[in-house]
Amino acid sequence: MGPVVSRRSLLAGAAGAAMLLGLGGGARYAWAVSEHELLRPPGGQDAERLTSLCIHCDRCRQACPMGAIESCSIEDGLLNVRTPKVNFRQSAVQRTLGTNEYHEATTGYCNFCDPDGTGCATKKCIAACPTGALAAFDETCESIGKAVIDPVFCINYPQMGQSPTGCRLCIDACSYEAIVMNDLQRPEVIADMCNGCGKCEMVCPSGTYRAHIGESALAEQAAAGVTDYQASLAYLRTYGVIPRGINVLASEA
């Protein structure tokens, strides 16, 4: 009977193990620093639980009938690579292809697998999760995130020489009556009613109407000290996309 492990293979193995330890530490402390909490599928709001239990199997993304779940890439931090996040922007092309009901959202947001509002539907992403990284979720009292109006991009605010419109798309889209029109004819989110389903962000037409406000315009106005623009620029910097008139933000747990 020879030695339990030869010196040569012990060295090779130790090198591999050391690389894995370095990778783990690096992912946890060096490259993980994404300044924002990611928007997770229902039940994945506990970031610690999700990252520790998720085995990157992609089943929740595939199971989502609304196509709202996306697999994170390296931009979202090494710690989050291939974990799921929700994206309420993704199927705009698919949504508008072959239809002229441009402001009807049938996919691209979370309907909690319960389109009829019966209140007891099984959520397919949670059912598909093999390790319980996505925990049980009750949309009546928990939320994916909270919708927040961005006054720079919401077309009911006068901005960059444009006069306000009377757009009601997000208000009409919301199934939870969480957005109301206030006395100034501007939408207002009632945070307690919002569960972050993302339909409002999905239907928001700001991308078309405020297409002329790009990063340079935001930076210019932000440098001039306009607070709304500074907030929009901060959104752009953290999420990497131009905000819409209404955006779901991950609520700090």
Partner 1 sequence: MNTEAMLDDEVSAPASATAIAEQAPSASSAAALSDGRPVRRPLIRRVVLGALFLVVAVGIVLGSGLGTLSSFGWESIATICPLGALESMLAAKLLIPQALAFLLVVVAVGILLGKVFCSWVCPAPPLRRIFDVVARKTPTIRAGRSRKADGEVTTSLSVAKPLSRREQRALKAACSSSSADSAAGAGTPSACASCVSGCASASRPVLDSRHVVLGGSLLSAAIFGFPVFCLVCPIGLTFASIIALVQLFGTQTLSWGLVLFPLFLILELTVLRTWCSRFCPMGALMSLFAKPNRAFRPKVDESKCLRSKGIDCQVCSGVCSEGLDPHGDAAMHECSKCRDCAVNCPAGAITLPMR
Sole binder of partner 1 in the list 74, 136, 180, 190 (CB under 8 A): 74
Contact predicate 123/209, CB 8 Å: no
Rounded distance between C-alpha atoms, residue 247 and residue 227, angstroms: 17
The answer to whether 131 contacts partner 1 (rule: CB under 8 A) is yes
Given the complex with partner 1, which of 94 and 162 has the nearer CB atom?
94
Backbone angles phi, psi at 73, to 5 degrees: -115, -165
The answer to whether 133 contacts partner 1 (rule: CB under 8 A) is yes
Sole binder of partner 1 in the list 127, 160, 190, 191 (CB under 8 A): 127
Q: Which of 176, 196, 186 is nearest to 153 (CA)?
A: 186
The nearest distance, CB 81 to partner 1, in angstroms, is: 6
The answer to whether 58 contacts partner 1 (rule: CB under 8 A) is yes
Q: Terminal CA-to-CA distance of the chain, rounded, Å?
A: 56
Given the complex with partner 1, which of 78 and 219 has the nearer CB atom?
78
Tokens of 52: 């520790």
Interface of this chain with partner 1, residues 159 to 218, rule: CB under 8 A? none
**Buried b or exposed e, range 39-52, using 16+ CB within 10 angstroms:** bbbbbbbebebbbe
Helix (H, G, I), strand (E, B) or coil at 27: helix
- Strand bridging mode 246-249 / 146-149: antiparallel
**Cβ atoms < 10 Å from Cβ of 92:** 15
The answer to whether 86 contacts partner 1 (rule: CB under 8 A) is no
Given the complex with partner 1, which of 26 and 158 has the nearer CB atom?
26
Given the complex with partner 1, which of 54 and 179 has the nearer CB atom?
54
The answer to whether 17 contacts partner 1 (rule: CB under 8 A) is yes
Sole binder of partner 1 in the list 30, 33, 52, 227 (CB under 8 A): 52
Q: What is each CA distance from 149 to 92, 175, 250, in whole angstroms?
A: 20, 17, 14
Sole binder of partner 1 in the list 35, 93, 98, 183 (CB under 8 A): 93
Task: Using CB under 8 A, count the residues that bind partner 1.
Answer: 58
Judging by beta carbons within 10 Å of its beta carbon (0-12, 13-18, 19+), is residue 77 exposed, middle or buried?
Answer: buried
Backbone angles phi, psi at 85, to 5 degrees: -140, 165
Sole binder of partner 1 in the list 30, 55, 160, 180 (CB under 8 A): 55
Binding interface with partner 1 (CB under 8 A): 2-6, 9-14, 16-18, 20-21, 23-25, 27-28, 48-49, 51-59, 61-64, 67, 70-71, 73-75, 78-79, 81-82, 87, 90-91, 93-94, 124, 127-128, 130-133
